[in-house]
Amino acid sequence: MDVIFNPKFENAMFYATLAAYLMAIVLNWACIVFRSSLVEKYRNGVLIAAFAGNVATILLSLVRANALSIQLDPFRLVNPYQFVLVFVACIVLVNFGLLRREYAHMSATISLPIIGALLLYVVVIIQQPLLDLSASMIYRSWWLTGYMLTTAVADSAFAVAFGIGIAYLIKEYLSKTKKRGVLGQYLPSMEILDELGYRLVAFGFPFFSLSIILGAIWANIALGQFWSWQPKETWSIIFWLAYLAYFHVRMLHDWRGSRSAWMLVMGFTAILFTFIGISYFLPGPAINF
Amino acid sequence: MGDQLYNKNMLRFWRFFASMRFGLILMFLLAGAATLGILLPQEITTQNTLLGQISSFLGLNNVFATWWFHTLAYLLVLNASVCTLHRVSAVISVLRSPRMTVNAYDRLQAYQTFTTKERQQEVIDSFIQVLKSNRYRVLQSEDEEQPQLYADKQRLEVLGPVVLHSGIFILALGLTGLSLSGFAGTLTIPVGSSAPLSAMQQTTGTVNRNFAIRVDSAEQLITRTGLLNTAPNVSILANDAVVKTGQVEFNAPFTYQGVNIHLVQFIHGELVAVNGKPQIIRPNQPNYFPLTPTNDLYVAFTNMHPDPNRPTVDYMIVQPSSPQPLAQGSLRAGEGENYQNQFSFSLIGYQGSAVLHATSQPGLNFVLTGALVLLGGMFLTLYLRYRKIWLSFIADGDQLQVMAGGYSAKERLRFAIEFKALIDEARSLVGG
């Protein structure tokens, strides 16, 4: 039983998960090139193992954090490390839960590298929280946990939509230049990609709105003010307005095609900047998730 | 003529405010303004440079508090509200009496036609059965010569934008109430001391409550990770009498007379008294306090040794106009100085202080209700897909021609697949 509470065990599980995801990225690309059912089987197996490892790492971190502060409050997400783990798991769930199988593997060619990059971000940048789950008492709140979960669901939908947007732009380029190639055959039609992108953003947007509301409620309870125009708060409202404008433009001007795809690509890039970049590039205090 | 022109202009004005285009422009402007607020250094105050003057005039050093930012936000709320009023009757009529018939089936998004030798009523019944089993609402026209069916699903989607915009309106009402009648501010109170609410710092709004908060004691829990969880016991004093006692914890505010008192931080440091007023001093902080009411004499505390058992601190008495201190020395716990027999300061000891944030938010329930309504509207708008199907049955000799058409504003490819599956299912029942 003690092994569960040992940070080294959780650490090993985290690195095994990272390795499995990285392997899944390679195998997924190999599937496109070789079109072999054997490679597909390996990819599916590795992906399932990676996801299981991901869920196990989340549970381990929660159990360990719970054991560390059992007299205070149980099972709450408290730091950016846990957020990234949940975010990554949500990307897999949204990718394979919302999309049909053939489209899911197609979009995974881009969403899996995002997962790899996020986990490497944990290793290279966050580092310490991998072992240290202590956090200021102010972060130990169900409202904040709700905020983190809804943000993870919303961001993961935007991440998969980002992959679809990239796929659309590649498909468009290939059809304009009349090149088919391996990718041209692999990618579905532009109409399908456009609709998939919209469906993902439409799925994620209410969760994004809910996350803003939950974050504001937490800030009000913890800090006594629900909105203070901090950079992360302000960026989130900017994205909210931008996505709201996207839905209106799509309705008003039937905005489809490459403009819509660019919106998906830029939207998620900006969200990633808000998540990672603000803490490093802009002055002032910022919450890291 | 004059009345007509006036009405025409009013209509044009109304339509402009109700338009999605106007809303879009406002959204982009607001997003741009908020981006400015983040990217521009908000502390530009110098009037000497051109940039400083422009910045000062436009309020770029505090974008989110400027009149034009608030105007943009309220215009967006106005746009959403007018848009709702403008469309509400159309939405109700769509919900109550949808367009039952169409003429040009081949112009619809999804279209199929086929002939069958089955009896008309059996074909109609089969279609009704298939549509109802797929959770469509089915309505039948009363035209006996050329019967038509209308079916729709998830029609509440059309209500979504109305609900969403209403949410924005309620939210804005609540926020206006908050900004007009609420207040917020911070108090740092050492354990054993009290402070009136009116002494709050960094205050917004007008403090209209007349009570004091006393921090009686502070219970400390230390977790296995060394995490400190401090829960100060506080008393509310009105006219020097205790009217309420309780505990304030992180994420668990204490409430009195609609004022929420939050624990933001619990700090430990050396406690000094300047002219009888307790102040916590900590390393790497600007620990200077005015000695005189006119702020021309300050006492600055330096070189503190925050040893809980034997705290000491150095002090200097300074004038803002002079670089040299007027007096300096060192204090141990319990020691004090009386400068010019008028101004006193002393080191009380090492103590904990609660940093409390007090807020009065009378419109908060409106804000939360607005947010929930907005969210409900969003789920209706984005998670429902209003689809409509029309069917026309035309007798042609011993055969029956069936024309089917369908429309969905969202996810057309998905609807096309669904439409085809529905018609195929019905055709498998009637043949043809």
Instruction: Convert the pLDDT of each residue in B10-34 to its tens digit.
Output: 888 888 888 888 888 998 898 888 8
Query: Does the pLDDT value for residue B369 go beyond 90?
Result: yes
**Chain A residues 194-213 with CB within 8 Å of chain B:** 195, 198-199, 202-203, 205-206, 209-210, 213
Q: Which residue has the tokens 């669901």?
A: A153
DSSP category for residue A284? S
**Chain A residues 35-94 with CB within 8 Å of chain B:** 68-69, 71-72
Inter-chain touch B413–A210, beta carbons under 8 Å: no
Cα–Cα distance for residue pair A108/B121, rounded to 1 Å = 50
Q: How confident is the model at residue B47 (pLDDT cuts 50, 70, 90)?
A: low
B46: closest CA among B58, B56, B37, B38? B56
What pLDDT is recorded for position A286? 43
Which amino acid is located at A189 in the chain? S
Asked, for residue A196, whether it belongs to a domain, the answer is: yes
Contact (CB, 8 A) for B402 and B114: yes
Give residues with Cβ within 8 angstroms of B363, minimum separation 6: B173, B174, B175, B176, B177, B178, B181, B182
Nearest residue, CB atoms, A134 vs list B225, B382, B383:
B225
Is B215 exposed, middle or buried (CB count within 10 Å of its CB: 0-12, 13-18, 19+)? buried
Q: How confident is the model at residue B177 (pLDDT cuts 50, 70, 90)?
A: confident
Judging contacts by C-beta atoms under 8 Å, the chain B residues touching residue A68 are 223-225
Q: How confident is the model at residue B223 (pLDDT cuts 50, 70, 90)?
A: low
List of chain A residues with pLDDT < 70: 1-2, 65-75, 127-137, 277-289
Contact (CB, 8 A) for B350 and B307: yes
Please tell me the total count of domains within chain A: 1
What distance separates the 2 farthest-apart alpha carbons in chain A? 65
Question: C-alpha distances in angstroms, A80 versus A208, B10, B242, B394, B426?
Answer: 18, 53, 43, 65, 53
Q: Is the dihedral of CA B234, B239, B240, B243 positive or negative?
A: negative
A220 to chain B, any CB pair closer than 8 A? The answer is yes
Q: How confident is the model at residue B325 (pLDDT cuts 50, 70, 90)?
A: confident
What pLDDT is recorded for position B237? 93
B15 to chain A, any CB pair closer than 8 A? The answer is no
B98-154+385-430 classified as CATH 3.20.20.140: no
Average pLDDT over residues B51-61: 72
Contact (CB, 8 A) for B280 and B271: yes
Judging contacts by C-beta atoms under 8 Å, the chain B residues touching residue A141 are 251
Which range, of A226-235, B127-136, B220-229, averages the lowest pLDDT? B220-229
Six-digit token pair at B144? 């006996």
Residue in chain B nearest A197 by alpha carbon: B411
Cα–Cα distance for residue pair B152/B163, rounded to 1 Å = 21
Total Cβ atoms within 10 A of residue A82: 24
Judging contacts by C-beta atoms under 8 Å, the chain A residues touching residue B31 are 238, 241-242, 245
Asked, for residue A287, whether it belongs to a domain, the answer is: no
Q: Which domain holds residue A63?
A: 2-281
B337: closest CA among B316, B308, B319, B353? B316
Asked, for residue A286, whether it belongs to a domain, the answer is: no
Query: Does the pLDDT value for residue B348 go beyond 90?
Result: no
Q: Suggest the residue from B202, B260, B266, B378 to mutate for an interface test with chain A (most A CBs closer than 10 A).
A: B378
What pLDDT is recorded for position B251? 77
Six-digit token pair at A80? 């950016």
Asked, for residue A263, whether it belongs to a domain, the answer is: yes
Looking at chain B, the whole-number percentage of residues with pLDDT higher than 70 is 94
**Chain A residues 147-186 with CB within 8 Å of chain B:** none
A286 to chain B, any CB pair closer than 8 A? The answer is no
Give residue limits of the domains in chain B: 2-94, 98-154+385-430, 210-250+265-352
Judging contacts by C-beta atoms under 8 Å, the chain A residues touching residue B264 are 138, 223-224
Rounded to the nearest 10 degrees, the angle between the axes of helix A231-253 and helix B20-39 is 160
Inter-chain touch A223–B221, beta carbons under 8 Å: no
Is B114 exposed, middle or buried (CB count within 10 Å of its CB: 0-12, 13-18, 19+)? middle
Tally of residues, chain B: 432
Q: How far is CA B225 from the centre of its chain?
A: 34
Cα–Cα distance for residue pair B122/B158, rounded to 1 Å = 33
Q: How far is CA B207 from the centre of its chain?
A: 23
Asked, for residue A288, whether it belongs to a domain, the answer is: no
B259 to chain A, any CB pair closer than 8 A? The answer is no
Asked, for residue A289, whether it belongs to a domain, the answer is: no
Judging contacts by C-beta atoms under 8 Å, the chain B residues touching residue A245 are 24, 27-28, 31
The string of pLDDT tens digits covering residues B247-289 is: 888 778 889 998 989 888 787 778 888 887 778 787 777 788 8
Q: Which of A45-54, B71-80, B224-233 has the highest mean pLDDT?
A: A45-54
The DSSP element (H or E) to which B265 belongs, if any, is: strand B259-274
Asked, for residue A95, whether it belongs to a domain, the answer is: yes
Question: C-alpha distances in angstroms, A117 versus A167, B93, B325?
Answer: 19, 51, 56
Contact (CB, 8 A) for B24 and A248: yes
Asked, for residue A202, whether it belongs to a domain, the answer is: yes
Inter-chain touch B378–A133, beta carbons under 8 Å: no
**Chain B residues 179-238 with CB within 8 Å of chain A:** 184, 221, 223-229
Interface pTM (ipTM) of the complex? 0.84
Mean pLDDT across chain B: 85
What pLDDT is recorded for position A133? 55
* Bridge partner residues of B298 (DSSP): B290, B318
Inter-chain touch B38–A72, beta carbons under 8 Å: no
What pLDDT is recorded for position B159? 92
Is A195 exposed, middle or buried (CB count within 10 Å of its CB: 0-12, 13-18, 19+)? buried
